[in-house]
A and B are shown apart, each in its own frame.
Chain A
Amino acid sequence: MEFFKSSDQRVTVAVNIVVVGVALFVSLRQEYIVKKNSFFDELVIDSFAPVQNGITYVKTTFTSIFDHYLANVDASRENDMLKETLSMLERQLFQHQELERENERLKAFLNFSDTVSGQKVLAQIVAADASSDFRVFRINKGKADGVTIQATVVTFEGLVGYVFRLTDNFSDVITILDSNNRVDATISRIRAHGIVEGQSSNVCKMKYISRTTQVVLGDTVITSGMGNLYPKGIKIGTISKIEKDSSDMTQRVLVTPSVDFDRLEEVIILLAAPDAKLKKIEWNALDYTESIGN
């Protein structure tokens, strides 16, 4: 064939076929759950991420000077501190209420704590994802600080997401707003179970809620602890919209996250995974309780 007369053309076609073939295979199998880095990836990220960190620091300082000095001396800073304290107290109160409900139900004889235990690390957000398709950000803590892959990321207000990618000094966090992040969740009031998935830049959807489940606006959604990813009892958000389609077996529920992602600057990474021995004790206790009830 005349097209393949030139060696350049033959090489071009061969290279294109190989590259497109490999890329298609990778793209169709790609799942945004975790990403393991190669040595080169870590080298480049650890080289450029400090620049992102520095620019973000300058940006934050500039906006802080504007907010706290030029705009409103002192009052703004005090207001921020009080809001943070209030959020922390609200979270503690919410956790205590969850503890009460759990104990009333079936764990009176087991000293089971629902609060999030283990070590925590505070991190600053240094950059967002370079693509607008993903709700991911980069933080300035990594392996050197004890962060592990799929570590839970929270704030005092609630669940943020988990660590998707990790280098020595930086991590990429995939938030609950991202459609690739699925959280096993429970509606706190009625204990109905579902999956929370990112929908848009400011709302999530909760799937697999049956039509007969009596969900109301304002219901709190928390992590269920199933799936070995997120600890139990972390607040995700509140139900902001309910739609029922007569032809559908489930109802469409939208959840507004309790975390204000537009103003998020700092996050907390939970370092300790649930203790495997404690988990075994919990499951044994549940089995014993059921046998007593029978």
Chain B
Amino acid sequence: MRLRLQDIVVSLFLTLIILAVAEIFMTTVSQLVGLERFRLQLNILIILFVALKLENPFLAIIIFIVQYFHSLFSIEGWAMGTVAGVLISVIVSYARDIIQFSNAVATMLIVQISQMIWFVIIAILMYIRSGSSDLVVDKLWRFIPESIVLSLLAPVVFNVLELLWKKRNQNILGEAE
């Protein structure tokens, strides 16, 4: 899906609103439904959508903005997620022809694989920064269930995001890409 710079702004703004709603839900109500130790990070799904589905020279900037907004709800910061997101977008740019979102199962599978790449990148950065493998192992135990749930949610979330990005970014011939 090719984008023009001037069409990105409104889509990105609406995406950030959705992210804010999700972050508020996860940080307040999630404990009521038993998610004391786990958090579903919708910013990861949004960044994967951006990396997997969108094409624009300024994808890295979009990823940075989404991560920066996420950092306002978490002390995690924007940097590590930005590195992971941009690297995944680079990997995807070479494999775009073979990635087919033909059905919901394919979407879940692609998102799960992407999340595993995300985890590896973040784990390397965490290990370099802290020098401790305990943190990485601890993160791995939480990553497994969190990533599975995110993958199950991916088809729905991707459909919503496609509505936001696709409708506003039809090409000059009037056809949505």
Do these two chains interact?
Answer: yes
Contacts of B78 in A (CB 8 A): 23, 26
B82 located at the interface, meaning its Cβ lies under 8 Å from any Cβ of chain A in the complex: yes
Contacts of A59 in B (CB 8 A): 28-29, 31-32
Contacts of A28 in B (CB 8 A): 125, 128-129
Given A26-B79, A132-B38, A164-B75, the answer on whether A16 and B86 have CB atoms closer than 8 Å is yes
Contacts of A86 in B (CB 8 A): none
Partner of A27, one of B36, B74, B129, B132: B129
Partner of B135, one of A41, A44, A136, A179: A179
Contact A132 B86 (CB under 8 A): no
Contacts of B153 in A (CB 8 A): none
Contacts of B27 in A (CB 8 A): 52, 127-130, 138
Given A15-B58, A20-B60, A30-B129, the answer on whether A131 and B76 have CB atoms closer than 8 Å is yes
User: Roughly how many angstroms separate A59 CA and B30 CA in the complex, as a whole number?
Assistant: 10
Given A128-B31, A132-B142, the answer on whether A27 and B41 have CB atoms closer than 8 Å is no
Contacts of B24 in A (CB 8 A): 48, 51-52, 55, 127
A172 located at the interface, meaning its Cβ lies under 8 Å from any Cβ of chain B in the complex: yes
Contact A133 B139 (CB under 8 A): yes
Chain A CB within 10 Å, residue with most, of B63, B73, B125: B73
Contact A200 B138 (CB under 8 A): yes
A245 located at the interface, meaning its Cβ lies under 8 Å from any Cβ of chain B in the complex: no
Contacts of B73 in A (CB 8 A): 48, 127, 129-130
A288 located at the interface, meaning its Cβ lies under 8 Å from any Cβ of chain B in the complex: no
User: Which chain A residues (132-149) contact chain B, with CB distance < 8 Å?
Assistant: 132-134, 136, 138
Closest to B40 in A: A132
A217 located at the interface, meaning its Cβ lies under 8 Å from any Cβ of chain B in the complex: no
Partner of B79, one of A30, A44, A52, A127: A30
State the Cβ distance, A150 to closest chain B Cβ, in Å: 14
B166 located at the interface, meaning its Cβ lies under 8 Å from any Cβ of chain A in the complex: no
Given A52-B27, A132-B39, A133-B139, the answer on whether A27 and B75 have CB atoms closer than 8 Å is no
State the Cβ distance, A17 to closest chain B Cβ, in Å: 9
User: Roughly how many angstroms separate A75 CA and B23 CA in the complex, as a whole number?
Assistant: 36
User: Roughly how many angstroms separate A129 CA and B160 CA in the complex, as a whole number?
Assistant: 25
Q: Mark A163-203, 1 if CB is under 8 A from B, else 0.
A: 01100000010100001000000000000000000011100
A87 located at the interface, meaning its Cβ lies under 8 Å from any Cβ of chain B in the complex: no
A11 located at the interface, meaning its Cβ lies under 8 Å from any Cβ of chain B in the complex: yes
Contact B77 A26 (CB under 8 A): yes
Q: Mark A25-53, 1 if CB is under 8 A from B, else 0.
A: 01110101001000001001100100110
Contact A20 B86 (CB under 8 A): yes
B157 located at the interface, meaning its Cβ lies under 8 Å from any Cβ of chain A in the complex: no
Contact A19 B64 (CB under 8 A): yes
User: Roughly how many angstroms separate A32 CA and B126 CA in the complex, as a whole number?
Assistant: 12
Closest to A44 in B: B72
Q: Mark A55-68, 1 if CB is under 8 A from B, else 0.
A: 11001000100000
User: Roughly how many angstroms separate A200 CA and B86 CA in the complex, as a whole number?
Assistant: 30
**What are 28 A-B interface contacts by the 8 Å CB criterion?**
A11-B57, A15-B61, A16-B60, A16-B86, A18-B60, A20-B83, A23-B64, A23-B82, A27-B125, A28-B129, A30-B129, A44-B72, A48-B24, A52-B24, A55-B24, A55-B28, A127-B24, A127-B27, A128-B30, A128-B39, A129-B27, A129-B39, A129-B75, A131-B76, A134-B74, A134-B75, A172-B75, A179-B135
Measured CB to CB, the residues of B under 8 A from A are: 20, 23-24, 26-32, 36-39, 41, 57-61, 63-64, 69-70, 72-80, 82-83, 86-87, 89-90, 93, 125, 128-130, 132, 134-135, 138-139, 142, 146
User: Known contacts A26-B77, A165-B75; can you find 6 more A-B pairs with CB under 8 A?
Assistant: A12-B59, A16-B90, A20-B87, A52-B28, A55-B24, A127-B27
